[in-house]
Amino acid sequence: MSLYLGFDCSTQSLTAIVLDATDARARVVFESSLQFDTALPQYRTRHGVLPPPGTGVTGVPGVAVSSPLLWADALDTMMARVARGVDLRHLQAIAGSAQQHGSVYMNDSAVSTLGNLDVRRAPGEQLAGCLSRAVSPIWMDSSTTVECDEIARAVGGASVLAARTGSRAFERFTGPQIRRFYKNDPRAFAATDRIHLVSSFLASLLAGRHAPVDPGDASGTNLMDLETNAWWPPALEATAPSLARKLPPIAPSWTIVGEVSRYWRERHGLPPARVVAWSGDNPCSLIGTGLVREGLIAVSLGTSDTVFGLMPEPRVDRGGTGHVFGAPTGGYMALTCFANGSLAREGIRDAFGLTWSDFSAMLASTPAGNRGRVLLPWFDPEITPAVSVPGIRRYGLAADDGPGNVRGVVEAQMMSMALHSRWMGVEVKTIHATGGASANREILQVMADVFDAGVSQLAVENSACLGAALRARHADALASGQRLSWDDVVRDVVSLAPWAPGPPGPPGPSGAPKASGRFEPDPSRAAVYRELLGLYAACEAHALGR
């Protein structure tokens, strides 16, 4: 029997998926999630974010931090659940996915603590003494505009930085975050021995020693040279002193970091399974949505909404909106990220006291195009387009019109994604939809109509976690000297429908599309959105003062 375990440590939750690849046909045999706010209430997070005064930075606009100890304890709680649900004696390898850009700051006691955790105690309390910074800035943080400018200027401008690292400087990226920490607390920065990303921190915890970062996640720092997959010295120098010594090495996504440490073996009865390098949630989602070939895109509807696809060459977005990241296949991926995803949908739902089925019913009963009325759902600072002062904007739409606002938020999200992913140069025919809100049929129909493309709904909503489990399988095969192509890795578990167009077949093993999981665009509604996109773009430009 060959089992593979994947984790996804996202903004609000931690998920585990176990894949059984004993036979030629791999299938998901276990899936479970926990929400940070409710499963670990002692950390007092709200939607996975520490509220002031826990942040110690009360009143600083744009700051968003969480706790690395929370993530460590969540991993422990979930591991106990997995060990109860599955016979782990046959576990071959573990890999993981984590929210991108977040950073964890550890002092030099981490090396010995990671290797000698007391099996009777949870990891969080034991790791507290290893942190040189109690909190981790996460991807929702938008407080580093000044540092972004400083770094870009020092390396020769935004376009130089983008050409080299795949992105212009973005507030949430790790480099600007590190620079801000260095400027605000130079002593704590000096006491920092290792700066991990969330992904490499959790891989280190599993392996009992410092793990490398993979190019997928390292490219979300503004510090990695895309061409060499190594840290780029001019960016390091522009960011903070001695940074080269503090960052983990960058290693291919299929690197075996080590074996599961004694702590996990004794605490949860794990075998000495291989620990594979973790990656970011979007790179893992690329695998979990089956996008191992170019020309397809996926839309992930999670806390952040993202549009992404595989890219053969690193073609950087000239407009400065999107990113080029390393892909876990060894190539590249294009991505555009939108901060106002699920919390904006929830914001509208809650404002009108709706259930999700009310929300869907309103979407179904309102006309495509919302009679030309537009809502810009910038509840929080937005990444795409860059909006630093949040606030909902409405054009021709009354604030108390429930159905109009419901349609307004979904249409705005879809139109913004369609508009701001054009730089990828993909003629979109099929979209793989993933993330929590991809369970909502009415939302997916709007997606199909706005993009004028078919939408395939995958049965496993958490494609990042599925991608992590698939990466574990791929890396384990490579390490055992077997050749396993990416097509083979995803074949049984993720839908291949886009390569075999036609009506969806019966539901296959876990990842295949649900029987009803294919949405086709309606030509008359698609025509409405073709017209409306210009109006939407004009509203965006107006709201941005252009």
Tell me which residues touch ligand XUL (CB under 6 A).
10-11, 99-101, 139, 172, 220, 280-282, 304, 306, 337
Please give the Cα distance from 460 to 27 (Å, whole number).
Answer: 11
DSSP 121: S
Q: What is the DSSP string of 292-329?
A: -STT-EEEEESSSEEEEEEESS----TTS--EEEE-TT
State which residue, 11 or 438, has the beta carbon closest to ligand XUL: 11
Task: List the one residue out of 117, 101, 86 whose CA is nearest residue 206.
Answer: 117
User: Which of 337, 397 has the CB closer to ligand XUL?
Assistant: 337
Residue at token pair 């375990």 = 5
Q: Which is nearer to ligand XUL, 97 or 495 (CB)?
A: 97
For residues 235 and 161, the answer to whether their CB atoms sit within 8 Å is yes
Nearer to ligand XUL, 49 or 110 (CB): 49
* C-alpha to C-alpha distances, 381 to 301, 384, 538, nearest whole angstrom: 18, 9, 19
Output the smallest distance, CB 7 to ligand XUL, in A: 14
SS3 content of the chain, % helix, strand, coil (to 5): 40, 20, 40
What's at 453, amino acid-wise?
A
Closer by beta carbon to ligand XUL, 255 or else 306: 306
Query: What residue is closest to ligand XUL based on CB?
Result: 100
- As measured in angstroms, the least distance from the Cβ of 158 to ligand XUL is 17
Tallying the residues shown for the chain, one arrives at 546
Output the smallest distance, CB 146 to ligand XUL, in A: 20
Nearer to ligand XUL, 291 or 337 (CB): 337
- Closer CB to ligand XUL, 4 or 170, in the complex: 170
Residue 180 to residue 64: CA distance in whole angstroms: 13
The nearest distance, CB 11 to ligand XUL, in angstroms, is 6
The C-alpha atoms of residue 258 and residue 526 are separated, in whole angstroms, by: 51
Residue 229's contacts (CB-CB under 8 Å, 6 or more residues apart) are: 215, 218, 250, 252, 326
The CB-of-254 to ligand XUL minimum distance in angstroms stands at 21
Taking the complex as a whole, how short is the minimal distance between the CB of residue 299 and ligand XUL, in angstroms?
12
CA distance 283 to 254: 13
With b for 16 or more beta-carbon neighbours within 10 A and e for fewer, the 73-91 pattern comes to bbbbebbebbbeebebeeb
Give the nearer residue to ligand XUL in terms of CB position, either 36 or 139: 139
Residue spans of beta strands (DSSP E) within 260-387: 274-276, 279-280, 297-301, 305-311, 323-326, 332-338, 374-378
Q: 458, 509, 482, 501: which is closest to 291 by C-alpha?
A: 458
Shortest Å distance, C-beta 190 to ligand XUL = 28
Q: Which is nearer to ligand XUL, 282 or 457 (CB)?
A: 282
Task: Tell me if 13 sits within 8 A of 33, measured CB to CB.
Answer: yes
Please state, in angstroms and rounded to a whole number, the distance separating the CA atoms of residues 331 and 400.
Answer: 48
Residue (361 or 439) nearer to ligand XUL, CB: 439
d(CA 57, CA 266): 39
Q: Name the residue nearer to ligand XUL (CB basis): 11 or 445.
A: 11
Contacts of 238 (CB under 8 A, 6+ apart): 150, 151, 154, 155, 179
To ligand XUL, the closest distance from the beta carbon of 25 in angstroms equals: 30
State the minimum distance, in angstroms, from the CB of residue 205 to ligand XUL: 19
Nearest-approach distance from CB 306 to ligand XUL, in angstroms: 5
Whole-number minimum distance, CB 10 to ligand XUL, in Å? 6
Q: How far is the CB of 304 from ligand XUL (least distance, A)?
A: 4
Cβ proximity to ligand XUL, 99 vs 132, nearer residue: 99
Q: Which two tokens stand for residue 89?
A: 């004696």
- Angle, alpha carbons 435-424-281 (nearest 5°): 30
